[in-house]
């Protein structure tokens, strides 16, 4: 059976695993990510792959990285959380690990993982929306990963939804992820808590009395326990997501939308308002097939699994 290695490079950790043809992770390793030192990152990836290669017959390595990857799937042109600027990561790593290497955007890799082995395995056209600190996206069209003319497509988090809106980390204002992400969820909850809203009191108590200690997982936990304010905060994010997905559907017409990422773990507390807003805003509603909105199945291993499969292919 063919084995490949998937590596998911983040700002705080590097996750690597050996993946078989069925998408099963045979072995997994995790190391810290020295995000400010590009040479140290490559060394960490080399050590991780070398250790896995010593125990498994790996044929190729796929690397998922948060950033703009060129059309050739080799150069990281820009990464927001890692000090990569125009780095030919493919060439560097191939010299270090002596194996073929494919470099892919992390959300694209996750979309491919869900398409091949997860929630989208039964469709040919898929949109993955990852809802975490920001919003990421990956698109599979007619069974192929859609990357765009220059390799940097599917950056759906930076679709402008509010003219002159909230300043985004990308430098523009009004980006989708400023309203439908984990950051937006926490920002709005903290603002209400700082303003002394009685509705936010349960959250403030859970945060030990400090509004700055309110986090996304804390809001989700409180919502699951029935806190009305926390439920409404998640619903607000869900409405933004549903409306954004409706706009994307008008362009892409996918058969299914898969919701992943940390905030996606809120389940129906997020998915129900997403679907409600989506159905109310979908262009041509009532006169067209309606896609399914599904929860991701592979969790935070989707990128690793997808990168490994892309490298194998």
Question: Quick count: other Cβ atoms within 10 Å of Cβ 171?
Answer: 8
Class of domain 3-112+301-312: alpha beta
Q: Report the pLDDT value the prediction gives residue 231, as an integer from 0 to 100.
A: 98
Which residue from 205, 150, 159, 197 is spatially nearest to 179, judged by alpha carbons?
A: 159
Mind giving me the DSSP string for 64-82?
EESSEE-TTS-EEEE-SSS
Distance between CA 140 and CA 219 in Å, rounded? Answer: 32
Distance between CA 269 and CA 234 in Å, rounded? Answer: 7
Helix (H, G, I), strand (E, B) or coil at 143: coil
Both tokens of residue 262? Answer: 């940390």
111 sits in which H/E element: helix 106-117
Distance between CA 281 and CA 293 in Å, rounded? Answer: 14
Both tokens of residue 285? Answer: 């509603």
Q: Report the pLDDT value the prediction gives residue 288, as an integer from 0 to 100.
A: 92
Which residue in the block uniquely carries the two structure tokens 């191939």?
94
Distance between CA 201 and CA 198 in Å, rounded? Answer: 5
Distance between CA 62 and CA 100 in Å, rounded? Answer: 9
Which residue from 99, 126, 63, 109 is spatially nearest to 294, judged by alpha carbons?
A: 126
* Domains 3-112+301-312 and 123-296 alike in fold: yes
Bridge partners, residue 28, by sequence: 17
Instruction: Give the start-to-end residue ranges of the domains of the chain.
Output: 3-112+301-312, 123-296
Which residue from 295, 298, 225 is spatially nearest to 265, judged by alpha carbons?
A: 295
Q: What is the pLDDT along the chain (313 residues), one digit of tens a residue?
A: 799 999 999 877 899 999 999 999 999 999 988 878 889 999 999 999 999 999 999 999 999 998 899 999 999 999 877 888 999 999 999 999 999 999 999 999 999 999 999 999 999 999 999 998 899 999 999 999 999 999 999 999 999 999 999 999 888 999 999 999 999 999 999 999 999 999 999 999 999 999 999 999 999 999 999 999 999 999 999 999 999 999 999 999 999 999 999 888 899 999 999 999 999 999 999 899 999 999 999 999 999 999 999 999 9
- pLDDT for 80-138, tens place per residue? 778 889 999 999 999 999 999 999 999 999 999 999 999 999 999 999 999 988 999 99
Contact 127, 141 (CB under 8 A): no
Helix (H, G, I), strand (E, B) or coil at 190: helix
CATH 3.30.420.40 fits 123-296, yes or no: yes
Contact 104, 64 (CB under 8 A): yes
């Amino acid at each position: 059976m063919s084995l490949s290695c998937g590596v998911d490079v983040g700002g705080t950790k590097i996750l690597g695993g050996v993946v078989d043809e069925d998408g099963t992770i045979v072995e997994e390793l995790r190391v810290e990510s020295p995000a400010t030192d590009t040479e140290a990152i490559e060394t960490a990836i080399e050590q991780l792959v070398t250790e896995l290669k010593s125990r498994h017959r790996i044929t190729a390595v796929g690397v998922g990285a948060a950033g703009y990857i060129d059309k050739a799937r080799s150069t990281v042109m820009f990464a927001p959380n890692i000090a990569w600027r125009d780095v030919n990561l493919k060439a560097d790593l191939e010299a270090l690990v002596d194996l073929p290497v494919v470099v892919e955007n992390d959300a694209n890799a996750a979309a491919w993982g869900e398409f091949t082995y997860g929630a989208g395995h039964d469709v040919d056209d898929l949109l993955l929306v990852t809802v975490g600190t920001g919003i990421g996206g990956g698109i599979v069209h007619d069974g192929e990963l859609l990357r765009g003319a220059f390799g940097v497509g599917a950056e759906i988090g930076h679709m402008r939804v509010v003219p002159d809106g909230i300043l985004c980390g990308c430098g523009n204002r009004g980006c989708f992820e400023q309203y439908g992400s984990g950051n937006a969820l926490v920002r709005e909850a903290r603002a209400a808590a700082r303003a002394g809203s009685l509705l936010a009191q349960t959250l403030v108590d859970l945060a030990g009395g400090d509004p700055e200690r309110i986090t996304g997982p804390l809001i989700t936990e409180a919502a699951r326990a029935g806190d009305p304010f926390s439920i409404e905060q998640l619903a607000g994010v869900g409405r933004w997501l549903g409306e954004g997905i409706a706009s994307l559907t008008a362009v892409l017409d996918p058969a299914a939308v898969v919701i992943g990422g940390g905030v996606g773990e809120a389940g129906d507390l997020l998915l129900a308002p997403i679907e409600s807003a989506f159905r109310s805003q979908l262009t041509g509603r009532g006169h067209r097939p309606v896609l399914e909105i599904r929860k991701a199945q592979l969790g935070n291993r989707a990128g690793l699994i997808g990168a490994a499969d892309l490298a194998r292919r």
